[in-house]
Amino acid sequence: MDMIYAFLNQKGGVGKTTLSIHTAAELTRRKRRVLLIDADPQGSALAWSNCRETPDFTVVGMAKSSLHKEIQQLASAYDDVIIDGPPRVTELARSILLAADLVVIPLQPSPMDVWAAAETIDLIREAQLYKPDLRCVLAINRKIANTAIGRDVREVLTELDVPIMKSDIGQRVAFAESAASGGTVARGKAAKEIKKFVDELRRIK
C-alpha cells in the first residue's frame, strides 16, 4: 500500500464524498488498486456504490473509532486507500487522522467554510504532535467561475497556514448528476478538473 488519503472536514456538505468517489474512480482508471473506506455513519459512499452497475473498486463501510487499528490489515491488498470522512464526529476524525498519510480538506469558497476549516485544522495540528509526517492540503470545491469570492477565498485561506491545492473543482451539476446514477463524471470539464486534481495529489509525497 502506497498512500492513505483522507477527505475530512468537520463541516457537512463540503464535498468529502464527491471528491472521495471521484478520486477513487480516477486512480482506478490509472490501474491503481483502490479501496474506498466509507467512514461516515450516514454511509453516503456505500449508498452510492450500491447503485453502481459496474463495481470497479472496492467500497467498505467502517465508521468506528478503531479504524486506525484495523486499516493496515484491510488495506494490504491495495495501492491506494481513500477514506471518506464524516462531518462532526470528532472521535472518528481522530481515528482517521491516525490512519491517514495525507488529509484533504475540501471547502467551498465562502467565509463560513473558511472559519469551519480552522476547526478541522486544529484537530490535524493535534494529531501532528504524534505524527509529524501527517500532511494536509485545502481543496477548493464548488468554485463559481469569474466571481470575486472565488478569487478572494485563496487570499483568506492563506491565513490558515495550510497549503492550498492549485487545482480547484468548479460548481458543476455533472458531479451531482453522475452520483445519482451510481457513476462518476467521465468526460467534459468536470472530468478534466478531477484528472488535474489527482495529478496534483499524486505529486504530494
Ligand X SMILES: Nc1ncnc2c1ncn2[C@@H]1O[C@H](COP(=O)(O)OP(=O)(O)OP(=O)(O)O)[C@@H](O)[C@H]1O
| For ligand X, the closer CB: 148 or 173 | 173
Q: Which does 15 bind (CB under 5 to 8 A by kind): ligand X, Mg ion, none?
A: ligand X
| For ligand X, the closer CB: 40 or 80 | 40
Number of continuous H segments (helices) and E segments (strands) in the chain = 8, 6
Positions 110 through 149 that interact with ligand X (CB under 6 A): 141-142
CA distance 200 to 123: 24
Q: Which does 18 bind (CB under 5 to 8 A by kind): Mg ion, ligand X, none?
A: ligand X
Residue 196 binding ligand X, by CB under 6 A: no
Q: What residue is closest to Mg ion based on CB? A: 17
Positions 41 through 70 that interact with ligand X (CB under 6 A): 42, 44
CA distance 8 to 16: 6
CA distance 99 to 108: 25
Positions 31 through 70 that interact with Mg ion (CB under 5 A): 44
CA distance 174 to 128: 36
* Rounded (5°) CA angle 25-39-183: 30
Q: Are 141 and 23 in contact (CB under 8 A)?
A: no
Q: Which does 55 bind (CB under 5 to 8 A by kind): ligand X, Mg ion, none?
A: none
Which residues, in sequence order, are CB contacts of 134 under 8 Å at separation 6+?
97, 100, 101, 102, 103, 124, 127, 128
Mutual orientation of helices 188-203 and 173-180 as an angle, nearest 10°?
Answer: 90
Amino acid type, 56: D
Q: Are 82 and 45 in contact (CB under 8 A)?
A: no
**In the stretch 16-45, what mask flags binding to ligand X with x, by CB under 6 A?**
xxx---------------------x-x-x-
What number of chain residues touch ligand X (CB under 6 A)? 19
In the set 65, 128, 167, 171, which binds ligand X (CB under 6 A)?
A: 171
| For ligand X, the closer CB: 14 or 35 | 14
Positions 8 through 27 that interact with Mg ion (CB under 5 A): 16-17
Chain residues binding ligand X by CB under 6 A are 12-18, 40, 42, 44, 87, 141-142, 169, 171-172, 175-176, 179
Chain residues binding Mg ion by CB under 5 A are 16-17, 44
